[in-house]
Amino acid sequence: MELRKVFDTIPEQFDKYRPRYSADLFADLIEYAQIGPGKSVLELGPGTGQATDPILNTGCDYNAIELGENLFEMMKRKYGQYPNFRIVNDDFITHDFGNQTFDMIYSAATIQWIPEKIAFSKTFDLLKPGGTLAMMLTRGDYKTPNEELFEKIQKVYAEYFKPETEYKQGSFSYTNAPNYGYVDFEKREYYGKRELTAEEYVAFCGTHCDHIVIPEPYRSKFFDGLREAVLEEGNKIVFIDTFVLFLAKKPL
């Protein structure tokens, strides 16, 4: 199975344990792109809605394309009652959008799964003149709050982290957007903090694509090792999160 499809095997866990994004990030994004009623938006690979609510709740014409069948079904259950919600179950790489164009296209840790040339060229073609491409991701730092726990966890990784398929982002680079015609490229950062118990941390780690595909006997030993490390440090692990937002415009 392709790594980009393994998330579809754990929709309930994915929905519960994947972190949401900064409210300040969305406030800035909505103001920057002037999103609201009458504006058309496309979300790439929404998963189970980690970055959906703030945009959908603006009253815009919200559209999404989701590769995973189970994630697609969960999105329909969660948001199908909204009159401004539309979603298709297909691969962005090959999907024919017909005559659709959008005021904003955005991705929450999804666009890097698409080959760079297709990702930037196709989103550029789908945007209206002056439209916004927004790409966001989260970087979690758990070393700074507790270096001793960090070192314990690294030892667990060194011994048992043996996924069947290695995660490789490939040649995609967020900063290459201007090479495909985009202008006004910029990067913004926002900050947050999470505290997880040992069980919550194990469940969260179990939503990472290359962690899902760890085979036995390593899988059980790996997650047991993570659990024990956090339990030994008071059953708490702290993440200092950086929410990164990349913005670019299609020229008028």
At 16, which CATH number?
Answer: 3.40.50.150
Tokens 């060229």 -> residue: 121
Q: Judge whether residue 77 has pLDDT over 90.
A: yes
Residue 44: is it exposed, middle or buried by C-beta count within 10 angstroms (0-12/13-18/19+)? buried
Spatial contact of 138 and 109, defined as CB atoms under 8 Å apart: yes
Q: What value does the mean pLDDT take over residues 107-128?
A: 96
The reply to whether 61 falls in a domain is yes
Whether the predicted pLDDT of 1 surpasses 60:
no
Residue 174 token pair: 């967020």
Q: What amino acid is encoded at 148 in this protein?
A: E
The residue-averaged pLDDT of 88-97 equals 97
Answer yes or no: is 146 within a domain: no
Q: Does the pTM of the predicted model rise above 0.85?
A: yes
Q: How far is CA 133 from CA 117, 177, 185, in A?
A: 15, 9, 9
25, 26, 29, 33: CA torsion to nearest 10: 180
* Residue written as token pair 């929404």: 46
Residue 94 included in any domain: yes
Residue 219 in domain: no
Q: What pLDDT, on a 0 to 100 scale, did the predictor assign at position 164?
A: 81
Number of domains in the chain: 1
163, part of any domain: no
- Could you tell me the pLDDT band of residue 230, with boundaries at 50, 70 and 90? very high
Q: Is residue 133 part of a domain?
A: yes
DSSP state of 19: P
Answer yes or no: is 235 within a domain: no
* Average pLDDT of the chain to the nearest whole number: 95
Spatial CB neighbours of 220, under 8 Å, sequence gap ≥ 6: none
What is the DSSP-derived secondary structure letter of residue 173? Answer: -
The whole-number pLDDT of residue 167 equals 67
- Could you list the residue range(s) of the whole structural domain that residue 112 is in? 3-140+168-194+241-249
Contact in structure between 44 and 107 (CB atoms under 8 Å): yes
* In a domain? residue 149: no
Contact 66, 46 (CB under 8 A): yes
The residue count for the chain: 252
